[in-house]
Structure 1
Amino acid sequence: MISPFTSRLGMNYCPSDDELLQIEALLVEPSLRLKRLDEEIAVLQQERDFLAASIDPHKALLSPMRHLPLDVIQEIFVACLPTHRSCVMSATEAPVLLGRICSSWRAISLATPRLWTRLHVVDLSQPRGGPNPLVDAKVAQRVEVLNMWLSRSGELPLSISIYGTARDLLQTLLPFAARWQHIQTVQHSLEPWSRIAEADVPMLESFAIPSLGQDNWLAMFRGPRISGFTTSAGDFTTGNLPLRWHQLTALQMEGFPRGDSMTSQKNIADRFKVP
């Protein structure tokens, strides 16, 4: 559109009354043309949306992911797990997130026990003011999810870290003791596990507890495969610890001189006079 007002555009110019009439007359034809174009665009947009609604679902059928073998998809899922820590029970990360993509991915994730073998559990402690029904309900829900999570792990060894003080968490883990491989807890009292015998933990390889006294000595510390043990130097003598010293390859005890950790059978045997 050729306009005599081109030099005035984008400025604070105030047109006269005659110029206002001239501008209105100038805009009649372009405005009509713009309206026709908008109508044509609206029609084309509807046609485009209709075609896209038909094409996109068909393109989805061509997705390479749909044609991958099940075992490859499972390996990809396992590769999505965090490598520097255990999984948390959260919908924002694998394996839970994978099961929320679509129904087929959910079926695959539930049928892949390796996705559910490593877990970090955080409990909800009661406030100082006393029991709280809302907290009780959330703890019960967390225990239910924990039980469901571990049930999905099939018969594979489990690596579990626990942050909290709820007895319910320890009790929920009891039925899975035969598959414990690595256990780490900040709980100072392990009384719910006091009846676990060494034969009940045939897969247990390492155990970590923040502090240890004779009231916390458990028979399961003599598990047939335990090779790693971590605790703080408490009120006990190392010779009385119920461990299979001859098979330990890693022993960490806070309270010893800095950097004085034991990471071999010979080192441990020499330090504690184990034959």
Structure 2
Amino acid sequence: MSLSNSPFTDRLNTNYIPSDSEILQIRALLVDPVEEVARVDAQIAEIELALSQLKEKRALLQTHIDAHKALVSPMRLVPHDILQEIFLSCLPQQHNALIDYDEAPLLLGRICRRWRSVAYSTPILWSSVHIPPLDYLSTPPNVLLGLERLVAAWLERSASCPLSVSLFDVNRVDSTLGTHPLILQLVAVSRRLRCLKFSGDPELLDPLLRLGPEDVPLLKTILMRTGGTPRTNILQIPTLQELDLTMLSSDPLSLPLPWSQLTSLRLGYFGSRSDRGLDFNGALAVLRMCPNLKQCEIRITKSSEPVEGRKEGKLYYRGGP
């Protein structure tokens, strides 16, 4: 008898308690269905085994297919020089390249052997770098050493290319360190520096600040943020054209700058004291000393005379093409 015609259909899913004779009847009814379920389970197992074997066979075939397709993939056929141009277009346009394995150029060396070879043998890919700030007081030594080695490898890959480097916030350094290891690495490649952006403690930056014209023959752009008024040679170089300077100085006009050769100038000031920085007359004096300026931004922080409710201002200038 089929279970669909079971005499116990109206008793199913209830609290009905069958009698002894009904229990025997129910067990007799279940013999054939239970055997049928076992046969179905066996068929399912056979089908699943066959399906598993087919999937394994397909995966093996697909692996061979993909490997052969890769040989004729359009990207594999791209000439070396075109691939280099593609890599260069992956670099950031608004800032120096980051030391980040998820960004170019480091990311390009993680795709495949050929890409890594092309990336590592293309010096211009490594011609800019932003070195992240690290707290030398709390960062594990292995992390610090890893960054120093990575920067060294980066600079080595740049070969003889002119460099654009930014290094910010080097204040949190162990006082027993003496000199900042990353600063010393930059000093070692100073003759290739084209653009230098840095901020931090003047004492730690001192090896950079003391570089003279013979040390930085290519340097044209400097951005400097420092809370002190350091003794510096680097601001006097004859190649300097673009300067972005923010520092704690009572008289920016007294700085030994090659004003007449600057084409871009930005002057700022740390703090809110009204007796430091530049007033409007000082800003005009700067403009008079800079006949070749094309762009200029000067933060006005100083009053020529006490004025109630004085507010800061900025003076902008943008020359013609």
TM-score interval, smaller chain: 0.7 to 0.9
Describe the shift of the 1:28–1:127 C-alpha distance in structure 2 as closer, same or farther (beyond 3 A).
closer
Matches of 2:152 and 2:70, distance apart in 1: 36
2:214 equivalent to 1:199: yes
Contact kept in structure 1, 2:253 and 2:286, CA below 8 Å: no
SS at match of 1:42: helix
Matches of 2:196 and 2:99, distance apart in 1: 17
**Which runs of no fewer than 5 residues in structure 1 stay unpaired?**
6-11, 257-267
1:205 positional shift: 1.7
List per-residue Cα deviations over 1:47-99 (Å, max 9, x = no partner).
22332232221111111111101111111112222333322223222211211
SS at match of 1:89: coil
Describe the shift of the 1:88–1:33 C-alpha distance in structure 2 as closer, same or farther (beyond 3 A).
same
SS at match of 2:125: helix
Question: Rg bigger for which structure?
Answer: 2
SS at match of 2:4: coil
Describe the shift of the 1:138–1:39 C-alpha distance in structure 2 as closer, same or farther (beyond 3 A).
closer
Aligned-partner residue type, residue 147 of structure 2: R
Equivalent in 60, 65, 68 of residue 70 of structure 2 = 60
Query: Share of identical aligned residues, percent?
Result: 28
2:197 equivalent to 1:184: yes
2:245 equivalent to 1:231: yes
1:28 positional shift: 4.3
More helix by percentage: 1
2:157 equivalent to 1:109: no
**Residue equivalent to 1:264:** none
Matches of 2:215 and 2:28, distance apart in 1: 100
**Residue equivalent to 2:58:** 48
Matches of 1:44 and 1:273, distance apart in 2: 83
1:270 positional shift: 5.3
Matches of 1:152 and 1:245, distance apart in 2: 35
1:242 positional shift: 1.9
2:182 equivalent to 1:169: yes
Equivalent in 87, 90, 100 of residue 77 of structure 1 = 87
Contact kept in structure 2, 1:180 and 1:201, CA below 8 Å: yes
Describe the shift of the 1:213–1:58 C-alpha distance in structure 2 as closer, same or farther (beyond 3 A).
same
Count of paired positions: 252
**Residue equivalent to 1:251:** 265
1:102 positional shift: 1.8
Aligned-partner residue type, residue 85 of structure 1: H
Describe the shift of the 1:142–1:86 C-alpha distance in structure 2 as closer, same or farther (beyond 3 A).
same
Please tell me the root mean square deviation across aligned C-alpha atoms, in Å: 3.0
SS at match of 2:266: strand
SS at match of 1:198: coil
Q: TM-score, normalised by structure 1?
A: 0.78
Contact kept in structure 2, 1:124 and 1:138, CA below 8 Å: no
Describe the shift of the 1:25–1:193 C-alpha distance in structure 2 as closer, same or farther (beyond 3 A).
closer
**Which runs of no fewer than 5 residues in structure 2 stay unpaired?**
6-11, 15-25, 174-179, 271-282, 292-321
Matches of 2:103 and 2:117, distance apart in 1: 17
Describe the shift of the 1:126–1:213 C-alpha distance in structure 2 as closer, same or farther (beyond 3 A).
closer
1:46 positional shift: 3.1
Matches of 2:242 and 2:254, distance apart in 1: 17
Equivalent in 195, 212, 218 of residue 232 of structure 2 = 218
Aligned-partner residue type, residue 207 of structure 1: I
1:200 positional shift: 2.1
Contact kept in structure 2, 1:87 and 1:120, CA below 8 Å: yes
**Residue equivalent to 1:8:** none
Describe the shift of the 1:98–1:46 C-alpha distance in structure 2 as closer, same or farther (beyond 3 A).
same
Greater shift, 77-86 or 149-158, is seen at 77-86
Describe the shift of the 1:30–1:127 C-alpha distance in structure 2 as closer, same or farther (beyond 3 A).
same
Q: TM-score, normalised by structure 2?
A: 0.68
